[in-house]
Amino acid sequence: MATIELEGIRKRYPNGFAAVKGIDLAIAEGEFMVLVGPSGCGKTTVLRMVAGLETISEGVLRIGGQVVNNVEPQKRDIAMVFQNYALYPHMTVAENIGFSLKMKKMPKKEIESKVSNAAQILGLSESLKLKPGQLSGGQRQRVAMGRAIVREPSAFLMDEPLSNLDAKLRVQMRAEVSRIQHRVGVATVYVTHDQVEAMTMGDRVAVMKDGTIQQCEKPQSLYDYPTNMFVAAFIGSPSMNLYQAGLDEAGEFIHLGSQALRVPPAVFEKHQKLRDYRGRDIVVGIRPEYLPVATERDETTLTADVDLVEALGSELMVHFAIDAKSMTAEYAYEGEDHLAGSGSGIARVDARTAVVPGKPMVFGSDLSRWHFFDKVTEEAM
């Protein structure tokens, strides 16, 4: 086992494009680190630099404490699992898993032993004599993982390995990949654009945008304490509702469009910097699950017009609109003007709630659970 350390890692192409703009990241032995972000954020480029498939423009990369900037990929003692399984169709599962060991001219008995152990970990013991064409997508992905496991590398690198699977199988395989990784106990860097995948699998998650790491924390910390508006919008499904708001001079009310909500003292105790924004515009963030249905209007409720209701069996997703300017996740992802739109939002409520599209609805709003951001810097308060 080994650690992986990136210090000031940058990647600049000959045309001047900077794909990675200075990454500092330390991955401990046995840790499952997920790099997540929208397309083009640089996450796969980082993975390829760790693998040795891309040269490093600046910075230092260490694997197991050794600098490997100029070490050839095959000598880095790492194994990769790709989006494309790349299995040999004419070989059996056992032959595919043991192929790299055969190329190393390892004794046949030793290959059989390692393949058998890997197959047991992966639940493939009954499929060793089958060929890839006889397997399901999930089984083929496990074979690709088995090919990596038998090498007993210092680290695993996984590049969106589940993206070719259907939705139901992806959920199943997320749990299996996590179980296998923790059982093998090897440092792993896993790249995905799917934030649900990142949150459910990673020991820690690094959220990337424009070639930089915006925040790197345990999944729950990312969800509860996003460092800026981008992370707030990216992490969570459905996304956090983000609106332009105004705090009055006295700090008593937050104005969301034409509605004013009283700010309890506990909010200022929790968000000390908010006092400095009295009389100024801010951005507020509200998670969909923190908008419960209220029975009466008062100074803490939010009235909205219901546009659409999605029934998911266990809960309802209520799409609504208020007359405040909103920021959506799409604006955050694409780097466009983030304060535009008609105040659309989503609330997650109990499935037995009576909701009628086209009619107004009153939501409770515990402001102590809101998030507050600087409108200009987009940083959390």
Residue 115: strand, helix, or coil: helix
Query: Confidence class of residue 377 from pLDDT cuts 50, 70 and 90?
Result: very high
CA distance 142 to 82: 12
What pLDDT is recorded for position 328? 58
Q: What percent of the chain has pLDDT over 70?
A: 96
CA distance 252 to 151: 63
Query: Confidence class of residue 31 from pLDDT cuts 50, 70 and 90?
Result: very high
Q: Which CATH superfamily is domain 4-232 in?
A: P-loop containing nucleotide triphosphate hydrolases (3.40.50.300)
Is 50 exceeded by the pLDDT of residue 114?
Answer: yes
What pLDDT is recorded for position 263? 96
Query: Mean pLDDT throughout 72-81?
Result: 92
CATH topology of domain 238-373: OB fold (Dihydrolipoamide Acetyltransferase, E2P) (2.40.50)
Pair of tokens at residue 72: 């050839």
Is 80 exceeded by the pLDDT of residue 366?
Answer: yes
Contact 195, 89 (CB under 8 A): no
Give start-end residues of each CATH 2.40.50.140 domain in the chain: 238-373
Contact 332, 338 (CB under 8 A): yes
Give start-end residues of each CATH 3.40.50.300 domain in the chain: 4-232
Is 60 exceeded by the pLDDT of residue 146?
Answer: yes
CA distance 2 to 325: 49
Residues 6+ apart with CB under 8 A from 265: none
CA distance 226 to 233: 9
